[in-house]
Amino acid sequence: MRKRVSIVIPVYYNAESLPELYISLSEIEARLDQRDLDMEWIFVDDGSGDQSLQELLLIKQNRPATRIIKLTRNFGAVHASKCGLQFVTGDCFMILAADLQDPPELIIQMVEMWLDGSKFTICERISRDDPMTSVIYSKVYYWLLDHLVLKGYPQGGYDMALMDRSLLSYLVNSSKNLYTPLLAYWLGFKPQVIKYHRHKRRHGRSRWTFTKKLNATLDVFLGFSIKPIRLVSLFGVSLAFLSFIYGNLLVISSLRGNRPVPGFATLACLICFLLGIVIVMLGVIGEYLLRVFEELNKRPEVVIDEIF
């Protein structure tokens, strides 16, 4: 029986890049067919407001085996990808961005490594043609990720990863807000690494806004690590210790007759500073509790409108 490679592709305002993506995937499918491998295409329309669905239906006309899942609205790339993973039937699988910044031609090399026994193959970005702000944010983000969340995580990050089917259940049954690439790396399978250059976006504009990046960052750091709350607690203990020392110094100074002149401005600044720290601590605790609430409220991750 021929083995099958499943490709899950979340789509959000990618109408301009889908025709070119179709050509690339068709070429890859032809090359896989020469190796006696089948290819499964699973597109997830994540509430696109452009002509993405129409382009996907044209792809299905040309390739009837294509599966298209249309969501009722935009739920985010991570949730859309996890939705697509539920329909995977292949012996290995991967998630591929529809914007063509991650070169689809790497799929062939990844499949070869899988056939050689690799259960987990990732494509690590070593350079990228992105705006400078995105490059700086990416470097800071992955540095923090390596030092605070998961030691040894690829410094350039990765999105493309071909995984054996044995990893599928861990991703499908994971918590609602877990970042899929990080969870896959966290599982502990030693990855085979392919290094590549991330292309400049040629079609449309990125919908990956700063607000979405910030929300994703919070999900990653608070969903995978307890270090943020421990750092906040450590900071609180340090402040309490310094306050205790300062209080003792005041008592000793008073006993010696060297009473400092009270200063309202200093006192007000200290109170405001300490109240700010308390609010930050409560905010961090609240973020953790929010994630617990989201796991327990039985709200679905996505809502499927139609399956083609």
Unique residue bearing structure tokens 């605070």: 148
User: What value does the mean pLDDT take over residues 22-45?
Assistant: 96
pTM of the model: 0.82
Q: Look up the CATH number of the domain holding residue 189.
A: 3.90.550.10
Residues 43 and 9 in one domain: yes
Q: What range does the domain containing 182 cover? A: 3-207+302-307
Residues 85 and 139 in one domain: yes
Closest CA to 152 of 206, 190, 208: 190
User: What value does the mean pLDDT take over residues 7-31?
Assistant: 95
User: What value does the mean pLDDT take over residues 238-260?
Assistant: 73
Flag whether 219 is in a domain: no
pLDDT at 63: 95
- Model confidence over 71-126: pLDDT tens digits? 999 998 888 999 999 999 999 999 999 988 888 999 999 999 999 999 999 998 88
Q: Which three-class secondary structure state does DSSP give residue 34?
A: helix
Residues 40 and 115 in one domain: yes
- Distance (Å, whole) CA 33 – CA 27: 10
User: What value does the mean pLDDT take over residues 200-212?
Assistant: 70
State percent of the chain over pLDDT 90: 45
pLDDT at 141: 82
Residues 199 and 234 in one domain: no
Bridge partner residues of 121 (DSSP):
162, 192
pLDDT at 259: 62
Which amino acid appears at position 49 of this protein?
A: G
Asked if residue 1 has pLDDT above 70, the reply is yes
Residues 12 and 110 in one domain: yes
Asked if residue 57 has pLDDT above 80, the reply is yes
- Distance (Å, whole) CA 104 – CA 72: 28
- Distance (Å, whole) CA 272 – CA 145: 31
pLDDT at 210: 66
